Amino acid sequence: MQDIRNIAIIAHVDHGKTTLVDRIIQYTQTLETRTETGELILDNNDLERERGITILAKNIAVEYKGFKINIIDTPGHADFGGEVERVLKMADGVLLLVDAFEGPMPQTRFVLGKAIALGLKPIVIINKVDKENCTPEEVHEEVFNLMFSLDATEDQLDFETVYGSSKQGWMSKDWTQPTTDISVLLDDIIRIIPPAPENPGATQMQITSLDYSSFVGRIAIGRVYRGELKEGERYTLLKRDGVSINGRIKELYAFAGLGKMRVQKVRSGDLCAFVGFEDFEIGDTLADFEQPEALPRIAVDEPTMSMLFTINNSPFFGKEGKFVTSRHLRDRLFKETEKNLALRVETTDSEDKFNVYGRGILHLSILIETMRREGYELQIGKPKVIERTNAETGAREEPYEILVVDVPEDYSGKVIELATQRKGDLLVMEPKGDVQHLEFEIPSRGLIGLRNQLLTATAGEAVMNHRFKQYGPFKGDISQLKNGALISIETGQALAFAIDRLQDRGRFFIDPNEQVYKGQVIGEHTRDNDLEVNVIKGKKLTNMRASGSDDGVKIAPKIKFSLEEAMEYIRDDEYLEVTPESLRMRKIS
């Protein structure tokens, strides 16, 4: 039987893990030489390529020196923790990829903590050593200290380190002596990562992710823990609450290269996909027909944020989207919960309103962005943090996060002031290259809307990351000095003449000639109260020519919001209207 190694790759956003996987694919010649690949082979979802982040965990298999290596690319963001937790269950070891300049970052810590708790053996790769001002030795020390603080075992702390540059395609034991390829890393994987164990006995396989094909329906993907799976045999599917379903595997696939290959049987320790059962979900066990035994279900961290989703009932509804009714919205949200483990959807008293719970703004915004690309129209309310009551003391608790900000020294005072206004406590302040490295412990609700303010205060220079830490005591009200809104009083086309006359009242979110409706938030008032304005009113025309009043209008460009910025910007009495082509804010009443 072929020897198998199952490894997961862990790294912070943008430290180069998807590029490293590209190099492994190219080195082992997994793709046929005639296929056109481009860069970032694994980030094949449009949203992933645009944002340069990995959202969905994906796995590939490469052959090297007669060994089969299953590589699983994990998302680096704490918001996609649901993806991370179930994927690590499939691995026997991890590659920890760290930037030689930035060192271990908050999200790395989050995923690494999960891997170490599962007892996986790490190999550390210090990447981007071709960068200027990089400090590979110091980063190596930081990684050791990080693992020590995460309670790693002696065996885990005795890790191998490989230095290199994924972009240039080389890896070496000594960063001052570049090699020509990445064979050093692949040899280490085979030598250090334990082989996938072969456990004889009654079959057990756990479903850790789902796929869908319009030809064969739902496909289950997972790892065989014991025994072996054979095509055409009968098995029992064990669901939650002790429910079991009997059935037969119609088609069985193993992973080969970037795709799947149909096989007759799969041994324990390997990853596979099968078709034949319809009603399964992530965490279910496929077990022996004669003596079924369930594996423990996958535990996922609880959601920390909720938002209200409702149908679009603005005056402009149905103009851009295909799916606009509450039935469409309900079906789509419940379909998402099947594969998105960290997401929860609850119905409310009203037929067309749903409470959606997720791991953070990014997690929810990826769902909303995916839906709008599919042609859905919907409205969403302001994100709210999920509080809870301590079972022992009865005290009110809220989620806390660790916020890390890297900012030029001149602006560090402004960053500290903004974070402390939102009940943040400064934990670390140290110079790192030419920037100040600041770390805060801050309530999650203090983070809502903070990114916009930070970027404004630091002229766009601040780089911020945050991750969930734990629930802690409620810190009291956070005073938020917010400007009021400029609200359109009429429906119609906005005119340059009217916007020009109103520029001293605030900043606008619309351009001349855009269609607006009554109740739409079209700008930010300079004061703290809302102001209703008429941007439809044109100039009164007469046949007299007035000197000096016919100057050309000079209008400041509108403020553009990304989806996350708009979600954080809206107030409690406003909805964000999301359609395939537009984002509009509006008053609820």
Check whether residue 433 and residue 534 sit in a common domain.
no
Sequence-separated (6 or more) residues with CB below 8 Å from residue 399: 304, 385, 386, 443, 444, 468, 469, 470, 471
| One-letter amino acid for residue 161 of the chain | T
User: What is the rounded CA–CA span in Å between residue 119 and residue 113?
Assistant: 10
> What is the domain-level CATH number for residue 500?
2.40.50.250
In a domain, 478, yes or no: no
User: What is the rounded CA–CA span in Å between residue 454 and residue 407?
Assistant: 10
Check whether residue 35 and residue 155 sit in a common domain.
yes
> What is the torsional sign of CA 154, 155, 156, 160?
positive
- pLDDT for 31 equals 46
Of 447, 473, 499, the last residue of a domain is: 473
User: What is the rounded CA–CA span in Å between residue 305 and residue 398?
Assistant: 11
String of DSSP letters for 61-111: EEEETTEEEEEEEPP--GGGHHHHHHHHTT-SEEEEEEETTT-S-HHHHHH
In a domain, 302, yes or no: no
Residue that the structure tokens 């190219």 belong to? 26
- pLDDT for 488 equals 92
- pLDDT for 517 equals 92
In a domain, 250, yes or no: yes
Check whether residue 71 and residue 119 sit in a common domain.
yes
Of 270, 288, 306, the last residue of a domain is: 288
> What is the domain-level CATH number for residue 399?
3.30.70.240
User: What is the rounded CA–CA span in Å between residue 206 and residue 294?
Assistant: 9
Check whether residue 176 and residue 219 sit in a common domain.
no
Other residues' Cβ atoms within 10 Å of the Cβ of residue 518: 16
Integer angstrom CA distances of residue 202 from 61, 131, 251: 26, 52, 20
Q: Which one-letter DSSP state was computed for residue 460? A: T
Check whether residue 461 and residue 560 sit in a common domain.
no
Check whether residue 403 and residue 521 sit in a common domain.
no
Check whether residue 451 and residue 400 sit in a common domain.
yes
Q: What is the phi/psi pair of residue 397, to 5°?
A: -125, 155
Check whether residue 403 and residue 498 sit in a common domain.
no
Domain interval for residue 548: 485-587
Strands 378-380 and 285-288 come out as unpaired
Integer angstrom CA distances of residue 212 from 88, 194, 287, 362: 22, 32, 22, 24
Check whether residue 544 and residue 419 sit in a common domain.
no
User: What is the rounded CA–CA span in Å between residue 189 and residue 185?
Assistant: 6
In a domain, 150, yes or no: yes
Q: Could you give the 3-state DSSP secondary structure of residue 508?
A: strand
H or E element in which residue 500 lies: helix 496-501
Polymer length in residues for the chain: 589
- pLDDT for 98 equals 86
Strands 271-275 and 217-226 come out as antiparallel
> What is the domain-level CATH number for residue 250?
2.40.30.10
Sequence-separated (6 or more) residues with CB below 8 Å from residue 391: none
**378-409 burial by CB neighbour count: b if 16+ within 10 A, else e?**
bbbbbbeeeeeeeeeeeeeebbbbbbbbbbee
> What is the domain-level CATH number for residue 56?
3.40.50.300
* Residue 181 in tokens: 């390829």
User: What is the rounded CA–CA span in Å between residue 348 and residue 341?
Assistant: 21
Check whether residue 155 and residue 224 sit in a common domain.
no
Q: Which one-letter DSSP state was computed for residue 376? A: B
In a domain, 84, yes or no: yes
C-alpha atoms less than 13 angstroms from C-alpha of 363 in its C-beta half-sphere: 31
Q: What is the pLDDT along the chain (589 residues), one digit of tens a residue?
A: 578 888 888 777 667 777 788 788 888 875 444 344 444 444 445 555 555 555 455 678 888 888 888 888 766 555 555 567 677 778 888 888 888 888 877 667 777 877 888 888 888 888 888 877 788 888 888 888 888 888 888 888 888 888 888 888 888 888 888 888 888 888 888 888 888 888 888 888 888 877 777 677 778 888 888 888 888 889 888 887 788 888 888 888 888 877 788 889 888 888 888 888 877 877 888 888 888 888 888 766 678 889 999 999 999 888 888 988 989 999 999 888 876 767 889 998 988 899 999 887 878 888 898 898 889 999 999 988 888 888 888 888 888 888 888 888 888 898 999 888 888 899 888 887 677 888 899 998 888 878 878 888 888 888 877 777 788 888 888 877 678 899 999 999 999 888 988 989 989 999 998 999 999 999 999 888 889 999 998 887 777 766 655 567 788 888 888 888 888 888 888 999 999 998 999 998 7
Of 473, 499, 533, the last residue of a domain is: 473
Check whether residue 437 and residue 529 sit in a common domain.
no
Q: Which one-letter DSSP state was computed for residue 196? A: P
In a domain, 252, yes or no: yes
- Tally of structural domains, the chain: 4
Q: Which one-letter DSSP state was computed for residue 303? A: P
User: What is the rounded CA–CA span in Å between residue 164 and residue 121?
Assistant: 20
Residue that the structure tokens 């991750």 belong to? 467
In a domain, 212, yes or no: yes
- pLDDT for 516 equals 92
Nearest to 93 by CA among 24, 191, 183: 191
Integer angstrom CA distances of residue 581 from 294, 318, 373, 509: 46, 12, 9, 15
| One-letter amino acid for residue 68 of the chain | K
String of DSSP letters for 329-350: HHHHHHHHHHH-TT-EEEE-SS
In a domain, 479, yes or no: no
Check whether residue 424 and residue 512 sit in a common domain.
no
| Confidence (pTM) | 0.72
CB 532 within 8 A of CB 553: no
